[in-house]
Amino acid sequence: MKLSHHTDYALRLLIYLAVHTDRPATIQEVAEAYDVSAHHLAKVAQEMVHSNWVESSRGRGGGLRLAQKPAAISLGAVIRRTETSFALVECLGGESTCPIESACRLKGVLAEARDAFLAVIDRYTLADLVRQRRTLVPLLLHKDTADR
């Protein structure tokens, strides 16, 4: 199973905001820290705001902040919100054209594996990802700041 870039960026954004709680962060700052597209990250940020995990403010001193404590943000909830499908194969998607579906056991095995993956993810929150804050902060320095 592979998570989409959208989900990856959502998790990265949330980690960044959980590590940098002292001030709002800009899309550009986060994009530069991870070396990812600011345009794509802006779309992700908008979804995180609509999901009430992130708050956004405009103007001087504005930016993005976590809207909830990291311990209140379930990784399972974020992944379920950002992934469009958990159909690992066609027959898990509901519109199967596979001629052996009625006798094939693969569908059940993959459904069980998917459910196990989600059950493990559900046990973790954003707080679990940022427990080593002091190690993460220097790794996520804004490139301009790191060069000084």
pLDDT digits (tens, 9 = 90+) for 102-128: 788 888 898 899 999 999 999 999 999
Q: Which residue has the higher pLDDT, 26 or 137?
A: 26
Between CA 109 and CA 118, with CA 90 as vertex, the angle to 5 degrees is: 50
pLDDT at 143: 52
As a whole number, the mean pLDDT across the chain is 88
> How far, in whole angstroms, is CA 107 from its chain's centroid?
27
pLDDT tens figures, 3-53: 899 999 999 999 999 999 889 999 999 999 999 999 999 999 999 999 999
Q: What is the pTM of this model?
A: 0.85
* Half-sphere exposure in the Cβ direction for 142 (13 Å, CA): 11
pLDDT at 144 > cutoff 60: no
Pairwise CA distance, residues 79 & 11, whole Å: 8
Q: Which of 21, 99, 82 shows the shortest CA–CA distance to 48?
A: 82
Say how many C-beta atoms besides its own lie within 10 A of residue 44's C-beta: 25
Look at residue 146 and tell me whether its pLDDT is greater than 60. no
Written as one letter, the residue type at 24 is P
Write the pLDDT tens digit of every residue in 39-88. Answer: 999 999 999 999 999 999 988 888 999 999 999 999 999 999 999 888 77
Angle 25-61-75 from CA coordinates, rounded to 5°: 25
For residue 44 the two structure tokens come to 């992700």
